[in-house]
Structure 1
């Protein structure tokens, strides 16, 4: 397998491939480059018959705090990060192996989208999920406009998307958004146990089941990502988003003008 990019760890543990976002100094906030490298790694792993399970995690205190707003001026095009995020979401769904997300701390913005795109999400009790896009003048992307309502229904999804509040892991599990919550000290062992169970299961049966369930529940994902791309591309050029970026860098609350 191709060596991982510097900001993504990749370690083979028997039939389990562990991929780790490795930017703990910014709570694993992702850039367009990181997202493209992540999509490539997942896709390549999916083609390896020796890999039975993929585990996706974040180094340090968070899974991922979302897009790195400090590099917004380095984005190759206004929609470049969205395209790259969508490739990650597609790759998670396309690989035949089950993908397990191990979540501690924040899974926010596109980090939330990536976690929820995984087939099973195991979260620490200190974790939370947040569609924080509205707080920077944007809309959910990375397929979140389908992934979230598919799990919790329209009313709860609208609340999360329009208010941008944190959803504690325990509530996420209660709502059926994620698989299970464990004590922080038990997260690593819980992930090992879950990955071990999956790695010993019949791989063809797992792949067929994953395809069927995704087709039944996420059949509109491409349409959703298309709508997100159109809406987000316009929002990324808005004065409100520029205001939010400036406020983020200055650690202030943005004053949105609606233009």
Structure 2
């Protein structure tokens, strides 16, 4: 069984992500570890649970609720506004007409969320509105959009009023789709939490896990790969234990 590496969370089909994966693949090959690139388009949970996963990137909430057996390798640092070291947060995004409002002002209005198992788009926002809610739900409607980008489309098209958007995704969209982003504003941020975990299968030997950490450290510190990292907003890497993500369940 050939092992796979994937980065399915931030623009997985982009040229920049593919180039970054190829850099990781080359660094692994230099250690005589052969892995093919994978680009899972659906059923990410099944992909992450696969015994062939040498390296992938998941979300912290499914890590703690649906992936009890995978091993955490660590996490990338990102240069996007809202990131600090391995931690990240979500921006509360609204239409320009609502830019002077606070989160409390959106009681009874509509939210868009990328998925109900998303830390950045759902769980973080749910934690923020729970203390603000009166009896019943805070929002009158929650649209499950399927992606952060689509959540923003829902807001622009006035089918939703607010969304919590992963700050890395937001920075990438500001860079790559500036025209759409001019119609939107940020009114706040969710609390900082550990960013997207890099994982490996439960069966991966301890020495291989350590080798993966060394490869990722080389990736983010070598001038050879500086351009590829910068194009994906990656600025560093830290080893991180699974226990660091328990805060997401509190």
The bucket for the TM-score relative to the shorter chain is under 0.3
User: What's the TM-score once normalised by structure 2's chain length?
Assistant: 0.27
Greater gyration radius: 2
Normalized per residue, the structure richer in strand is: 2
User: What's the TM-score once normalised by structure 1's chain length?
Assistant: 0.26
